Structure 1
């Protein structure tokens, strides 16, 4: 497919290139509007590799564009893909002194840009090849801060030489201890701590933070939108991730990068590796980095520990993670640190396709102190969901197993009220409500509906235990989900739903009864009051309970005039259309009764089968009911010599017939909801 947005960029560059050859006073039209269009395009879409190379030439070769225009282009030079060696060398070649060189202010912007796109370099080693050129420019004060930052990123063990150490020390003394030079010297010391000693690195030093985090964030957004181009820019997995000062979002904690301190002259460290061949050749000789927890973010260290596992390494990583938890518990670190660590661990698991036991230990302790499940579950869903019902169903299965696990822990706990899962379960169910509602719409199959009901059956079983109900607030399914499931074409789904709602109703009754008199079926007392969350749900629960009874039993489907009735949330305009359709099919019918026991698509076969069995058993029957059964048709049937059966006995008989066939949920709900049936059960 042709990208029309990308097509516009070459034309803008063409226009600017032509204008750059003409002195400003001789141009017939101003160039500023075209520059603004170019920078806007770059900010919105980024530049492809070809366009990036042309812009690099435009910025680095002598021309008649003003400095403000060149600076504006540089500041908006967002790559949409990787950055080639040619582009890098264009900017490196433009550095230094000379009449044909760009201004030093513009050179500082070039170096700043190289720092910000370092992670996108097609070949990071290209900067190592021009290391000497960059180093020799350190005496230029105007570009020294950006140059030191770039050298700090590029520096490897092979670049650290005595003459360079001496040159930095000399220049540092001449400049009065420039913090940027001190910061670069500390990078050198990481490779040769035994050489660089004394007070040389004790002064104020630059931290080499990212020059513009907002620029980087916008760059990431462009890269994400152009994912097809990003696939060509996979970062070299055989070199250390040297991004200095990687910080966890919103915290003061730092995830260490790979550094091997106290390395000897004959040591072989990961920092020296930049290709697969060198990595394989020295696999058994590497000295482990000082901070092994860097494995969570560094691809090369991940490969080393995967191919050369170490119990000591696992222990050190586990200790670091547990220390993070300890800092949060003691108040020395923000609790958001934990969520940041989960995000880092997620990236690690995706990269390595494995989940080491030490991470299970971390999560076991993590869940004991984390008091808000939503961010964690959202993070999990971001990783697992791929916009398909199958991934949603897999996630629902996971949540169901998690609920069962927590329920088991609560049941085995001597004091359920002190167990953290008791406060997490309502959050989990509320979160699953959204997933279940979405799944019921994206995949309205019987299998999906039954899987959803499996989850809520486990919830209902949990609430049926008085010992647990006294510590856990009730969380009902989403009302729209209840209606979606009730109007399922499967009798099994309808019956299970009704049975689960009956269990929920008994749980509500147990909690709402007075503490002195309330008791469950087992005789245990539930001594607690409704929570604020539960009180807000009672009306919703009563609403869909009334709606289901109106459909099944009372012949008043979709009414909204009864107390608590919501009309199954069916808009009045839709009801009007459906009512006209029903009247057109049968003038004596109405929408209000077509979802009852006799007419509902899921129940009509069972209802007429019940009548047929009664008629087969009674030899005196002279007339059979043609069906469907109504109160008026039963009276007419009796007058014609058919079965003498009251409307109430017929409906009760259908409920019992359904129960005998394995669909007892409907009877259970009716006998727990309809007052006349409740009285009948008691007698």
Structure 2
């Protein structure tokens, strides 16, 4: 059968063959049994077995049973058999697949690369739901994993359990996303003795409709005004259908009932009449409510203000902070009272607690941005609340630079200011929200960070802030500059001037330009740094040490650009640049037969190179600050 004639005959239906194929099969199996299959013959026979053809199952089975390799079995043969497993019209029959698996078990110790089966573990495991080949799969998996507990009956038990859990999840998902009352609250509270109620309506009138009777959207809409409120309205925290009802038909008395129930529960915990663990379990339900509705109503915000006073600051911290991040945009004084209690409970003089708090503020600001952008109209409330929050967090970020001066901390700080920059980039929001910039000291500390990712993201944030300032001062925004914004413009322009002096102008720490602050480094310190640098490298000045070519963060990217340009002209140049690049060295390079590159082309090329490497912050800031670069990009 490994001969071309035999393979051709397998592709012809039995009724159309001129001669029988039985003798050929018998000869092939006899040869295989006595002599074994050489690698080329083995490959052809595997192709014959795994591709649909007109051979009968008995002939194919006989070939597999006598398929003895005469040497090592390569990966291609193994993969061909593995690829033939599973369901499908073009797949071999399941009894034949079982023989394939038995063959793989038989030749396991002859495989050139046994690891090929380990790499296919996921494929083999996902086939375990096919009962016809499960015993052979278990045998092979036992060899692959070396685990004796892989047995058919145990795999079957696991598959029954998986299906059960999947079915339970589907039912739960249908309840939460659908229009049916959820009756599984006791299970979700993990068997606690809490009296947290489920939806149940008592004393309903004949003319009314209970929520338990609603089972679809049409029924809810049709009976919206007739639906009797459940006896325990606090069940709204766990039941999606009741949540929909109260959103569509708000009820002031119902809100008061919910608030009274929660406060009574909190009072029991505070007085010691109830265990705090029970309340923490209930907190998960409140968290699910906030996530489902994307809101934290005022009554729950009031409840949280009381809860934080008895919270230990660490139990289920992530759930507490995520729930509180759905707080509405309220007056900052009202929010500040809650933040004070939160910080008093959380902060324990460790950077980890401070970072958790910063992560909460970042999430809160992002949610506020989404909420305000989706609102039909915005009032003057946001003009004070958002800037006050950012100004408040400014102190925390400065503290973190001292308590945890690590790259990870810097990235977390930038997460917050990127959230602020995103808010200021929205035309609708900048119309109502005053700009608050990061503290000047923080900007300089981040700029001189040892991570290029930090510096790039910082520059990207400042570029977004600059566009926000330009928008506020343009006719497109009608509100004009607020007094607090006018006080910040000079400081912000100082950031830009100092960073451009370092990166682009070769005048690092200069205070001679308008608004320049010399990165707030005192003159005696500059003199000491200059003397140190001159002793280390007489050709390098302090003013040029932080440019594209010499900066410790950018020198590799800069010279890499030059190396790529030289590589593209390898046959046409006689010399290469030794680096670092200066305006004078580029002229000398061209005279000696090197790459012809102007100073402006080189610097623009470095910006493009950084963009290509996923570091767009510095180019974004330069293109939005340097007038010559602005005009060049426009053309």
Report the TM-score, using the length of structure 1 for normalisation.
0.48
How do 1:96-135 and structure 2 match up within 5 A? none
Deviation of residue 560 (structure 1)?
A: 0.9
Deviation of residue 440 (structure 1)?
A: 2.3
Alpha carbons of 1:615 and 1:669: their partners in 2 closer, same or farther (altered >3 Å)?
same
Q: Secondary structure at the match of 1:382?
A: helix
Deviation of residue 487 (structure 1)?
A: 1.0
Q: In the alignment, which residue of structure 2 is the partner of 1:143?
A: none
Q: Is the 8 A contact 1:433 1:477 kept in 2?
A: yes
Deviations 1:523-580 (A, max 9, x none): xx32211111111111110001100000000000011111101111112221111101
- Tell me whether 1:640 sits opposite 2:601 in the alignment: no
**For the residues of structure 2 that align with 1:401 and 1:510, how far apart are their CA atoms?**
25
Q: Which runs of 5+ in 1 are unaligned?
A: 1-288, 315-324, 327-337, 516-524
Q: Is the 8 A contact 1:406 1:421 kept in 2?
A: no
Deviation of residue 410 (structure 1)?
A: 0.4
Q: Is the 8 A contact 2:269 2:275 kept in 1?
A: no
Q: Pick the aligned partner of 2:541 from 590, 598, 610.
A: 590
**For the residues of structure 2 that align with 1:512 and 1:632, how far apart are their CA atoms?**
41
Alpha carbons of 1:349 and 1:621: their partners in 2 closer, same or farther (altered >3 Å)?
same
**For the residues of structure 1 that align with 2:577 and 2:325, how far apart are their CA atoms?**
64
**For the residues of structure 2 that align with 1:358 and 1:572, how far apart are their CA atoms?**
48
Q: In the alignment, which residue of structure 2 is the partner of 1:407?
A: 369
Alpha carbons of 1:435 and 1:511: their partners in 2 closer, same or farther (altered >3 Å)?
same
Q: Pick the aligned partner of 1:546 from 491, 494, 497.
A: 497
- Tell me whether 1:606 sits opposite 2:606 in the alignment: no
Q: Is the 8 A contact 2:501 2:507 kept in 1?
A: yes
Deviation of residue 431 (structure 1)?
A: 1.2
Deviation of residue 363 (structure 1)?
A: 11
**For the residues of structure 1 that align with 2:492 and 2:379, how far apart are their CA atoms?**
26
Alpha carbons of 1:603 and 1:293: their partners in 2 closer, same or farther (altered >3 Å)?
same
**For the residues of structure 2 that align with 1:598 and 1:358, how far apart are their CA atoms?**
48
**For the residues of structure 2 that align with 1:359 and 1:609, how far apart are their CA atoms?**
45
Deviation of residue 362 (structure 1)?
A: 11
Alpha carbons of 1:437 and 1:638: their partners in 2 closer, same or farther (altered >3 Å)?
same
Deviation of residue 373 (structure 1)?
A: 4.0
Q: In the alignment, which residue of structure 1 is the partner of 2:422?
A: 461
Deviation of residue 602 (structure 1)?
A: 0.7
Question: Quick check: 575-584 or 438-447, which moved more?
Answer: 438-447
Q: Secondary structure at the match of 1:350?
A: coil
Q: Pick the aligned partner of 1:452 from 401, 413, 436.
A: 413
Q: In the alignment, which residue of structure 2 is the partner of 1:655?
A: 607
Q: Pick the aligned partner of 1:377 from 316, 327, 339.
A: 339
Q: In the alignment, which residue of structure 2 is the partner of 1:387?
A: 349
Q: In the alignment, which residue of structure 1 is the partner of 2:634?
A: 682
How do 1:12-411 and structure 2 match up within 5 A? 292=264, 295=267, 298-303=270-275, 306=278, 344-350=306-312, 368=330, 371=333, 373-411=335-373
Q: Is the 8 A contact 1:546 1:564 kept in 2?
A: yes
Q: In the alignment, which residue of structure 2 is the partner of 1:58?
A: none
Deviations 1:200-253 (A, max 9, x none): xxxxxxxxxxxxxxxxxxxxxxxxxxxxxxxxxxxxxxxxxxxxxxxxxxxxxx
Deviations 1:574-623 (A, max 9, x none): 11111011100111211010000001111000000001111111122111
Deviation of residue 488 (structure 1)?
A: 1.2
Q: Which runs of 5+ in 2 are unaligned?
A: 1-260, 287-297
Q: Is the 8 A contact 2:325 2:367 kept in 1?
A: no
Q: Is the 8 A contact 1:539 1:564 kept in 2?
A: yes
Q: In the alignment, which residue of structure 2 is the partner of 1:672?
A: 624
Q: Secondary structure at the match of 2:273?
A: helix
**For the residues of structure 1 that align with 2:378 and 2:329, how far apart are their CA atoms?**
16
Alpha carbons of 1:636 and 1:451: their partners in 2 closer, same or farther (altered >3 Å)?
same
Q: Is the 8 A contact 1:449 1:493 kept in 2?
A: yes
Q: In the alignment, which residue of structure 1 is the partner of 2:128?
A: none
- Tell me whether 1:630 sits opposite 2:582 in the alignment: yes
Q: Is the 8 A contact 2:325 2:364 kept in 1?
A: no
Deviations 1:348-370 (A, max 9, x none): 23399689x99999998996466
CA RMSD of aligned residues (A): 3.5
**For the residues of structure 1 that align with 2:377 and 2:582, how far apart are their CA atoms?**
54
Q: In the alignment, which residue of structure 1 is the partner of 2:488?
A: 537
Deviation of residue 378 (structure 1)?
A: 3.1
Alpha carbons of 1:655 and 1:348: their partners in 2 closer, same or farther (altered >3 Å)?
same
**For the residues of structure 1 that align with 2:340 and 2:453, how far apart are their CA atoms?**
32
Q: Pick the aligned partner of 1:569 from 512, 516, 520.
A: 520
Report the TM-score, using the length of structure 2 for normalisation.
0.52
Q: Pick the aligned partner of 2:442 from 478, 481, 493.
A: 481
Deviation of residue 654 (structure 1)?
A: 0.6
Deviation of residue 489 (structure 1)?
A: 1.3
Deviations 1:275-314 (A, max 9, x none): xxxxxxxxxxxxxx9x94881784333449959x99xxx9
Deviation of residue 382 (structure 1)?
A: 2.0
Deviation of residue 346 (structure 1)?
A: 2.4
Alpha carbons of 1:372 and 1:480: their partners in 2 closer, same or farther (altered >3 Å)?
farther
Q: Is the 8 A contact 2:309 2:341 kept in 1?
A: no
Q: Secondary structure at the match of 1:668?
A: helix
Q: Secondary structure at the match of 1:596?
A: coil
Deviation of residue 484 (structure 1)?
A: 1.1
Q: In the alignment, which residue of structure 1 is the partner of 2:144?
A: none
**For the residues of structure 2 that align with 1:681 and 1:372, how far apart are their CA atoms?**
47
**For the residues of structure 1 that align with 2:523 and 2:625, how far apart are their CA atoms?**
26
Alpha carbons of 1:349 and 1:483: their partners in 2 closer, same or farther (altered >3 Å)?
same
Q: Secondary structure at the match of 1:453?
A: helix
**For the residues of structure 2 that align with 1:359 and 1:458, how far apart are their CA atoms?**
17
Q: Secondary structure at the match of 1:489?
A: coil
Q: Is the 8 A contact 1:457 1:500 kept in 2?
A: yes
Alpha carbons of 1:500 and 1:296: their partners in 2 closer, same or farther (altered >3 Å)?
farther
**For the residues of structure 2 that align with 1:633 and 1:456, how far apart are their CA atoms?**
39
Q: Is the 8 A contact 1:302 1:352 kept in 2?
A: no
**For the residues of structure 1 that align with 2:499 and 2:346, how far apart are their CA atoms?**
35
Alpha carbons of 1:378 and 1:348: their partners in 2 closer, same or farther (altered >3 Å)?
closer
- Tell me whether 1:440 sits opposite 2:401 in the alignment: yes
- Tell me whether 1:617 sits opposite 2:568 in the alignment: yes
**For the residues of structure 2 that align with 1:597 and 1:470, how far apart are their CA atoms?**
37
